[in-house]
Amino acid sequence: MPEKEDIIKASDHLFYEIKQLDALAQILVYIRTLDINHGGLENKSQKSIHIEAIKNAVLEAFLMHTRSILDFLFTEESKNKDDVLSLHFLERKEDIKEMKKIRSKIISEKEYHSIKRRINKEIVHLTYYRINIDEIDKRWEYLKIRDIVLRACLVCYKFSNKDLLKTVVNQYLEKHLELYRHEIEGVFNSNEATTYTSATPEIFVAKIKYPRNK
């Protein structure tokens, strides 16, 4: 287990990841309005080509932050000893157990691995996996992903030792906890998975269409 001082310092970097995730999702919405105002990507003017490049760069950054936060939330033991893990902020075994139970109602272990695999295959690595995905299945539901990841972070925060987070991090998460309070309390009080996971698996798993053997 890392030293308490190091965990507190690391909370600053967790804060950065979460802020970037939220901000980049909002930027993607804004870029989408630019795309619409310039006639969509079919209009291959120099301006629309630049907008497309910016959109791709922002989306890639958003997905990298998504992967970092999900790794933080789900990894229990890491080969890299300097990885910051959510369990570093939870001290009691009963809190860890309850946190996992509630978190699974928002995003399951299987869905975590699915989205990480998709990010790795489509964004991080140049793979043959990409050539079998059509344009529709390349789409990323970034607002839904943002909401799922933020809610999972807030569930973890509810069970965390607040003394291990810097004041600014506590303030930010408390503010978002208040914004999402109704939905988060619904997750805590429910015995079923929320619609964010059970009704939207397409967010995490691309529908791959493999070519038929001739």
Range of the domain at 48: 4-203
Phi-psi region of 75 (alpha: psi -120 to 50; beta: other; left: phi over 0): beta
pTM, whole model, 2 decimals? Answer: 0.84
What does the block give as tokens for 128? 């043959």
Asked if residue 136 is part of any domain, the answer here is yes
Asked if residue 123 is part of any domain, the answer here is yes
Alpha helices in the chain (DSSP H): 4-37, 46-74, 93-103, 109-119, 142-159, 167-179, 181-189, 195-198
Asked if residue 208 is part of any domain, the answer here is no
Q: What is the pLDDT of residues 167-190, one digit of tens each?
A: 999 999 999 988 877 777 777 777
Asked if residue 137 is part of any domain, the answer here is yes
Q: What is the pLDDT of residues 92-119, one digit of tens each?
A: 999 999 999 999 999 999 999 999 999 9
Query: How many structural domains does the chain have?
Result: 1
Asked if residue 155 is part of any domain, the answer here is yes
DSSP 8-state code for residue 121: I
Distances 27 to 34, 56, 57, 59, 79 between C-alpha atoms, Å: 11, 12, 11, 9, 34
Other CB atoms within 10 A of residue 112 CB: 20
Asked if residue 27 is part of any domain, the answer here is yes
